[in-house]
Structure 1
Amino acid sequence: MAALAPVPSSRLAALTRLRCAVFQTSYNPTSARTGAKYLRARLRGPSMVEYYPKELTVAKFNRLCLGQWKIVDTTEETRLADVEAKKKRGKGAPKKAKTKGDSRRSHRKR
């Protein structure tokens, strides 16, 4: 039985290019990384959203009930009290500038 002659690499490359054109796949003769594996993969976000339960906070519950029930958020109350105490001591957040002349940056650049 006679041995078959080896097929030239240019012929194999042409065959691969034609196969990619017919089956609508990407022609990548140098085997460069394209990320196609990750782009074809199924998205994980929707299944993760379904898996984890929705978090219900006191503020969200009060917004859902629309005034029927009012639950006091103790952590928010203590936070607001701390902010007021800091403001009385002069440690609060600075006032927002109404105009460009009011800003601290304009005074520093002079």
Structure 2
Amino acid sequence: MAAVAPSRLAALTKLRCEIFQTAYNPTSVRTGAKYLRARLRGPSMIHYYPDTLTVAEFNRMPGGFKIQDWAEYQRLADVEEKKRRGKGAPRKAKTAADSRRMSRKR
């Protein structure tokens, strides 16, 4: 029985890859195809962890229950403290004449 020529086996492999829509890789170079074909993990992880409930979302829920958001309370106190020391955000200009940029233009 005669052995089949390597060129014929390579042609057969190439044709098989075209028919079954697989990657033709005669030199066995790493392509990452295994990872690209794998199922994505992100959607499963999103469904695994429960939704987190923030204080603001809880206060917006129907039922009339309200709890104090201490982080927001502290933030507002810090903003007020900065305003008292003159370090707060500048006032918004109501007209073009009030704007600092308009006075600087040449």
Same fold (TM over 0.5): yes
Residues 46-99 of structure 1 show CA distances to partners (whole Å, capped at 9, x for unaligned) of: 22112212111111111233x72222212211111111111221223456789x
| Aligned residue among 2, 5, 12 for 1:7 | 5
User: Aligned letter for 1:37?
Assistant: K
| Structure 2 unaligned spans of 5+ | none
User: Aligned letter for 1:91?
Assistant: K
| Aligned residue among 91, 95, 110 for 2:87 | 91
CA distance in 1 between counterparts of 2:26 and 2:89 reads 60
Counterpart mapping for 1:1-110 below 5 A: 4-5=2-3, 7-8=5-6, 10-65=7-62, 68-94=64-90
CA RMSD of aligned residues (A): 3.2
Normalised to the residue count of structure 1, the TM-score between the two structures is: 0.69
| Structure 1 unaligned spans of 5+ | none
Structure 1 residue ranges, 4+ long, deviating more than 6 angstroms after superposition:
none
